[in-house]
Structure formats: C-alpha cells, structure tokens
Amino acid sequence: MFKYISSRLLASVPIVLFVAIFVFLLSHLAPGDPAALIAGENATPEQIAQIRDRLHLDEPLVTQFGYWFSDILRFDLGNSIFSNRPVTELIAARLEPTLVLTSLTIVLTIFLAVPAGVIAAWKVNSTSDRSIMILSVLGFSVPAFLIGYANMYVFALKLGWFPVQGYANLSDGVLGTLRSVALPAFTITLVFWALVARITRAAMIEILQEGYTRTARAKGLSEGKVLFVHALKNAGVPISTVIGVGIAILISGVVVTESVFNIPGIGRLVVDAITQRDFPVVQGTMIFFSVVLIVVNLLVDLSYVLFDPRIRY
C-alpha cells in the first residue's frame, strides 16, 4: 500500500511540471509581442516597456520560465496587470462562491446520479432504465449555458423561487447562500449527473452478473443490501474514476455558469481576465485549476485502496 501511494505521489511531479510549462507558453503562442498584447492597442511605448521589464520578457525563454516557476514554487502567482493586486489575493477573494457552487454540485450529483445508475442497472431494459438514460443523454447533449438560461426563465422569472443572479455570502446566512447557488448548481449537476449515471449503470450491470451477487441473493439478503452494499462497493473504482474525470468538466461548467448567473467566483475571474488580456491572472487561475485537478485525481487514485483490497498488496 505504501509503495502504491508513493508511486502515485511521484507520478504527480512530472504532471505538475508539464502543466507549468504549458501554461507559461500560452502567453508566447500568440503572434506578436506579448508585452504589446497585454498592454492593449492604446498603450504607450513606455507602458509596453514597463510590462516587458516587469515580466522579464527581454530575457531568454528558459530564463523567463525559471523566474516564473520559482515564483510559483513560492506560491507567488504574480500581480494583475490592471488592478496591480496579487493574483493569489484575487483568487482567494473569489474562492468562496466557486467552492460552495462546486461542493453543492458534487453532493447533488453523487446523491442523484449514483442511485439513478443503480436503479437503471437493476431494472435494465425497463421503462425506468430507458427514462434515466434518455435524461442522461439530454443532460450531456444540451449546452450548460442553455440549461442555465432555461432554469433561470422557469424557476427565477416565472416561479420566483430563486434569485435571477448574484451570490449571497456565507457570512449573511447559509440558507441565503444555498438559495443563491441552487439554480447554477442544478444547471451543472444536470451535465455532471449524466456522465456519472451512465458509468454507474454500466459498472453495476457487469457486477450484478458476477457469481458473488447471485450468492448474496441465494443467502436471502435483501435486494437493497445486494445492490448498495455488495455490488456498489465493487463498482466503486470506475465510479470514483468518472467522478474525478467529471470534475474537469465541472470546472469548465463553472466558468460558463458563473458568467450566466453573475456569480463573482474564480470562473468569472477567468472570463474577465481573458477579456482584459490580463495574462498573469489567466496563468495564475489556470495553475490553480490544474493543481486542483491533479490533487483530485491523486485522491481518486488513493481511494481505489478502499474499494479494491488487492491494491493494498
């Protein structure tokens, strides 16, 4: 088990380095002078020169990366070109809305998608199975922004159950916060739910055909115990894997959904930074999201030990 965990931790190191190189090169892939692109069309030569000196753009590319990566290792993501505030400070200020939204989405997805997939596998080829699969195909096919606008029109404008846009801070009350993120969380859940439900169904269909599930039924165990104790635990590896993969989809959905519902989270920060061509903020947020994904996938790999005892040895 220690060897397995150590190998997964070591495997994350080159991934972090590759991501850092890719993010760093983004500002150099666009044609033209990066300093001029950052400064904008109306910038003076003095302003362009200041940006070039500030970002070490006169140095060789390898030297630039050395300066930038050494700052990253010190948790210094640089300063915003336009606000002149540290990028880490900007991310920290926007972290709460994104964290609440993603956490609520993951909880809703697990408690809705996994039971739906189990039921679809249990009642395979039935009306329930077909209905769940139709909903999952629709959820995965319809764009997130379209689902968001539809939910906003029905539940906010017509029924008035939720606010149209905005975010209520946790300091102002948990219920107000949950009410403000309910619609965007439900919007992303429909996309994430479709993926998890389909994989859960496929994994459970295979597990339910195994001999030990038939033995559990023959011993007189209830159908609930057979499904949710014996079968679901053995299907945990592919389900946890797809949840980890789905978090990448979730992050991209957060960027779109926060813009649609005007939530001041990190996704909205990314959109604003791209619009303003604020490359330090774009690079910093991409590094932040990449590290989050690497950590999540590492935790998913480590969770395999809980579902499959053979991995411990």
**Predicted confidence (pLDDT) per residue in 17-28, tens digit:** 787 787 777 766
Average pLDDT over residues 181-189: 82
What are the tokens at 109?
A: 């997805």
pLDDT at residue number 39: 63
What is the per-residue burial (b if ≥16 Cβ within 10 Å, else e) of 5-24? eeebeeeeeeeeeebbeebb
Q: What is the mean pLDDT of residues 34-58?
A: 69
Residue 148 CB contacts under 8 Å (≥ 6 apart), including other chains:
183, 184, 187, 256, 257, 260, 261
30 vs 223, residue with greater confidence: 223
Domains of the chain (ranges; CATH) run 87-312 (1.10.3720.10)
> 48-70: per-residue pLDDT in tens?
777 777 766 777 777 777 877 78
> What is the reported pLDDT for 37?
64
